[in-house]
Structure 1
Amino acid sequence: MTSRRATTTLWRPTGPEELDLVRALDWKAWPPRLPEQPIFYPVLNEDYAIRIARDWNVKHSGVGHVTRFEVDTAFLARYPVQQAGGRTILELWVPAEELDEFNAHIVGAIELVHTFR
């Protein structure tokens, strides 16, 4: 009998450049952060990701995307949930230097679920 490890669904609002890098990584990992990006922040609900992609990414890049992906739940316990505003504005703050390890705990592929123009 095989047991499946528990996963948590996360979302990430992305602009076109980041999505191109995810595509180049075969939808399996997030690209390294730029020097001015010390934290990688996936969000805990789709609605919040949609609002960022639609209201911020489109304004700044002309297009915004929402991705969805699964991460090993036990691994995520090291990152306390951050409330970045209202009660549904929930994020995880992953230090840039831990992103490779975070990527190693992604289960399955990163999926593109919404695009806004």
Structure 2
Amino acid sequence: MSTTTLWRPTGPDELALVAAAGWAAWPPRLPDQPIFYPVLNEAYAILIARDWNVPASGAGYVTRFEVRTTYLANYEVQQAGGRDILEYWIPAEDLAEFNRNIVGTIEVVRRFPDNAPLPG
């Protein structure tokens, strides 16, 4: 089975929900969040976690996880800015199926600031 590595920048509230789900699933989107957007490279995830999540919520985290490549073939890669700013746009109503296609666990690979606490 082939998998694709994805990253997700997140704040402490969302990360706590991931931890509560056993590091195996992303929480449902809020009403004002019509899409879930994992990104395709770590550098872009770092930029968002450090420059957006930290000011907004005091901490930012970069997570890494694997998703079945055959499942991701249902979606087009979206270029959200520069040529390296790539992400998938998963509609909120597809998130449960997306979660079922995660292989392994969601892991935190970076924290901002470096001493930001991990939930759980």
**What secondary structure does 1:70 align onto?**
strand
1:53 aligned residue (40, 49, 52): 49
Identity fraction in percent = 72
1:24 aligned residue (6, 20, 24): 20
The alignment of Structure 1 onto Structure 2 pairs a total of residues equal to 113
1:110 aligned residue (106, 112, 116): 106
CA–CA separation in structure 1 for the residues paired with 2:75 and 2:12: 27
TM-score by length of 1: 0.96
Q: Which residue of structure 2 lines up, in the alignment, with residue 88 of structure 1?
A: 84
Q: Which residue of structure 1 lines up, in the alignment, with residue 117 of structure 2?
A: none
CA–CA separation in structure 2 for the residues paired with 1:101 and 1:113: 24
Moved over 4 A (4+): none
Q: Which residue of structure 2 lines up, in the alignment, with residue 69 of structure 1?
A: 65
- Structure 2: which 5+ residue stretches go unaligned? 114-120
User: What displacement does 1:113 show?
Assistant: 0.4
Q: Deviations over 1:17-53 (max 9, x none)?
A: 0000000000000000000000000000000000000
CA–CA separation in structure 2 for the residues paired with 1:14 and 1:56: 9
TM-score by length of 2: 0.93
**What secondary structure does 1:37 align onto?**
coil
Q: In the alignment, residue 95 of structure 2 is paired with which amino acid?
A: L
